[in-house]
Structure 1
Amino acid sequence: MTLIKTNSPKLHREARLAREKLHLEGEVPDGVLRAEIDASWRRSLSHGVHFNAKHELALESSASLDLLLASNRLLIDAALPAIDYLAERQGKEGLIILANSDATILAVEGRADRLKGSGLQDITLGACWSEAVRGTNALGTALVEARPTLIDCGEHYLDRLSDFSCTSVPIHCPQGDILGVLDLTREGPLGRAHDSTALLAMAVSQIESRVFNASYPDEIVLAFHSRRQYLESPWQGLLAVSLGGQILAVSAQACQLLHAERSALVGRRCEEFLGVDGLQLLARLHQGGTGSLQTAKGEFFYKTLRAPQRSINVGSPPRTVAKPAKAQPDLEALAGSNTRYARALRMARQGLANELPVLLLGETGTGKEVIARALHMAGARCDKPFVAVNCAAIPEGLIESELFGYREGAFTGSRRGGMVGRLQQAHGGTLFLDEIGDMPLALQARLLRVLQDRKVAPLGAGEEQDIDVALICATHRDLKRLVEDKHFREDLFYRVNGISVMLPALREREDFAALVSRLLVTLGAPAVVLHDDLDRLLSGYHWPGNIRQLEMVLRTALAMREPGETVLTLDHLPDSMLDELTASERPQAGSIRENELELIRQSLDAHQGNVSAAADALGISRATLYRKLKQLRS
């Protein structure tokens, strides 16, 4: 680790001499300051910063602070445990500061009251400490130099900071770019500089690990090292691998362990380095969280930090970087050969473009979030946030704060600095409320008001803030029945039910073969096909779990392949899965009413809703078909 460091008590005197010459001559004297500090002072002077400037505190508006916190939420959440840890050990002596890649402060802990009284009034949330604004300081200089930085007493460019010393370590994202910086500032000289640098470096390693892990929620994330005892240490390597076997990201330590540059690793197949493809790796990970792999680089011990448990979006390609992928499922492709479904999706896209809400209806597992994301990517807001909230997955006591956010101190146990709600996070983009039928009744009234007024007030805050969101909702429940039973507000139902789309169940789809092919591509196996026996078994099953269940079956079969196999057979499925698939054909039992309604629905779907054609196919008149529909639905 390369440091900008100090090791001499006389530097304070030399810096004072340099500042006096700067005052008298208007330029930085040669040969007085350390080379790194000299370069920073010269940059500060070229930026027009006056060395005698007083504190300049530009107060941000609440909306600007909310936007700042929302845009850096991943970094803040990852850093808070480390900040709390450092505050317990160093907070009595100074300040622990977190800033983003622009040197704008995101969090401050420690003796803020005491140090602010000593001239640090502008170390506060939202203040920028870049070199261009405040001259040489560890926060700003570490970002310019892109390495850990030590600034001793007197070496700050601003004279009013002469009594302070600070240490900063940059924080990197999984792609290697600087995400932010962590700083320790205190009154007096640095003292044991390497101790503070090592402590910050350990904290930054933990932060980078949390950011890395959180950046790949649907992929395999591993920690590894050539020595088992170094797992869960700052020296472990981090690796993100797609289910298709592609390396998505590697940490700097991983590059060292694999003796390769990041550019030579990202995008390559994991078997080239780990000796096992993504699906085999996933199967091994589900057998246990730790283990070892024999690779061309030697033996590596690993620990699973994340292995995907939920289904991958149908039709979306494997992700290759942490940033949102540009390529997204095409609406026409998601509809398959169902022209009525394709028409409904086209209308939803056009309605969303004209600020109409979209309501997606369908059984669990039919791909409602996939459709929601595809609608978002098909519109003008595709480069804006897509924020998904599962109303059924969040505890009732937390869903209000999750949606609307809160100010610091709004309630006991609230997060320091508050939290930006999902509604504000989605500002400018699309808000997807999944399972809206499970939203608590009391919260529905507040959501209705927000949707009507397009304003939101976080808990504990009096002022309202404007929001601009496209709205997509989804549910597997019968909202009309919930309205009749007084479990769902009628006014909210009409507010969210602009363009409704019924997603067909898998057993009702006629494009089963095409859907299987698309899923195999998504799972990284485009050359793999199904044996006729397996194809017949799968196409004859009734799929109560819909696409999500089918995907898991395919994923399991792929994981059981031997190297080089391209045909999936019944032998690739475990007995428990075969028993389930063979014991249950498409359900024939049920009442006459249920079977009659199913026949009518199938006929209408097959003829794209044409009642005359459906009636002819069933051998009944249009009047009889209308009468039966009325009887069956009553």
Structure 2
Amino acid sequence: MSKFSQPSSQQASLAMRDDQRAIAEAIARSWRRCMVKGVDEQAPAQDQIITAQELAQRLEKNRLLLTHAEPEMLTLSEQIAHTRSLVILTDNDGVILRTKSDGIEENTIRASLLPGASWSEEHRGTNAIGTALVERSPISVQGAEHFMAYHHSLSCSAVPIFAANNQLVATLDVSNDYSAPQQHTLALVKMAAQMVENRLFHATATGEIGVHFHARPEFIGTLWEGLALFDAQGQLQAINRSGQFQFGLPLDEDVLSVRQVQFEEVFDESWSAFKQRCLSTDLLFPLHLRNGARLFARVSSKATLISSRPAVAVPRESAASLALLDSGDPQLKLAIAQVKQVLNREIPILVLGETGAGKELFSRAIHDASTRRDKPFIAVNCAALPEGLIEAELFGYEEGAYTGAKRKGNVGKIQQADGGTLFLDEIGDMPLSLQARLLRVLQERCITPLGSSKSVPVNFMLVSATNQKLKDKVAVGEFRSDLYYRINGLTVQLPALRQRQDLQPLIRMILQVEQAGEAHISDEVMALFSRHPWPGNVRQLHNVLRTAVALADGAVIGLQHLTQDFLDELECVAAVMVETIPAGLTLKAQSDEAVRLAMQQQAGNISAVARQLGMSRNTLYRRLKALNLG
């Protein structure tokens, strides 16, 4: 154990007690508000669901929020997989905009947790979403802490989300059955909400020069850095929440809407001296506040700020080149070598691999290694979009093309990729009707938006990905053979994590991506990682490490920093493998046999089997289909 571990654990324990005390006080204040307002704690909940038209208007108003929250909601959903929880995003009124479900039970008032439902304190009494909005701080509300008895079956953790300059725009919440509370849920929601805030800040804040700072130099470049944007004269234009806290600015108001703040008011240095000293270096340097406190900082120009705005959940620098993905596995090394041979030759690439094996990250690396690296990388998940919307998303539409269309129309994903790369993930799930339209685009290199008679020329590199056997789909008429040969210029296979020979280098790489390159993993945890079957592949490993780094807070990562769900998953899979699976089988055969045995043990209950094997239901369905069991 590191000599620094004990102080860090003590600090974490004290912080946790402070958080619990603050939450208890916030709940007490909320109950008093509810009693003053006359909320009936025994009344059945009124389902306060807005109309479909009102919901569509709110979705349009919050389009930017939804765009930047979607990747973090997906990551959060994967982190709490198999806990029967619901990830919820609301607007600043507490109206649910979007959810991601993991099998939350009907008796947890699922009807009240649908998009369009209001969870303000006025409508629901004390609850995580509504109370977080009023208190403007993270909160967990468990069981009978809810003011209304109707909600006592729920366990909820919500965190407010702020845009640039302290504007409260949303909450992110995880709700589940109170009978199955989840340790660490609020910490995970905080981390996801911080990611969303950072994305929104980069997407909306403007300034000529950015100052990235923190009292601890290792935190610069992470989720927790302060970021202040100044104009050319040194006037503060925008600042994120972490920066406000470090500056000592109030977190309950938009300071910049009240008065102008100059660089010299915050830092103990003139603006001209600062520019002369710092704009010529990318290195960290000390910077003092007016109160004498020392920070560490680096600067970035307006161009750097714009180019670093995140478009996907993985930081752009982590996918800067194919070389960075080569951590020693022979099969992955072969895939990288094959791609390099065809790069920049207008040859479409098809990436094969299981869910979570890193197909999008690999495809992003292809883009970043190409001559198109400075142009857009546009990713479309063909399995995630409803069939009725995917055509409009891909091809765009003109004004009035269909009911609910945006007033000025919309540019489709294919046109957005002009000059860059179009990444079609899960292309095997694309409807047949759209396959014909996509084939025409690939042949003619032009698109026609819905409702338009004009063709628009497009030029892009095509990278597709799937976890399915497209040849089999072609054979049964579910995928067009002409489209298959059009997208299959080069096929590369990414290995599943359980097949890779580079686990330790991969872990070091992920820790570097998480800005935790100095983090140390105990031998016990590393041994556990080595024997885990990783049904969620690299994505699951990344989520496990990200959570462990956050919970360890600088200490050596031990078993206590792994979620109980992950440990239970290992125990279940190990029990099946050790007790009932014959020795001498290949890893693939062992995995297949584990699925068969789990189906028998759980009498075909898909949710129970997925929990036992530690995989999503969608992945399980695909495995069952491949084994002719579904």
Q: TM-score, normalised by structure 1?
A: 0.49
- Larger of the two Rg values belongs to structure: 1
Bigger relative CO (Cα 8 Å, ≥ 6 apart): 2
Is the helix fraction higher in 1 or 2?
Answer: 2
